[in-house]
Amino acid sequence: MPYDLQLIPGAIFAILADVAETHTLTLSDRFGLMAAVMDEHLTEDECRAINRLLRAVQRGRVSLA
């Protein structure tokens, strides 16, 4: 069953700023990233921001809430 996910403009950078301040990736942040990954029209800067967030989680610098 396909889902129609809409990414709010600027949401990726808002998530990045929030995570940089709190060092925590919340459930709503994760849903926002899921919507972003499914969006085929991401800019290169948005893709880099997502990759930075994922690497930070992988390295343990950001915790999941």
Tens-binned pLDDT, residue by residue, of the chain (65 aa) = 566 666 778 899 999 999 999 999 999 999 989 888 888 888 999 999 999 999 999 999 999 99
Phi, psi (5° rounding) for residue 32? -65, -40
The distance from CA 45 to its chain's CA centroid, rounded to whole angstroms, is 12
Q: Where are the domains of the chain?
A: 11-64
Rounded to two decimals, the pTM is: 0.83
The distance from CA 65 to its chain's CA centroid, rounded to whole angstroms, is 14
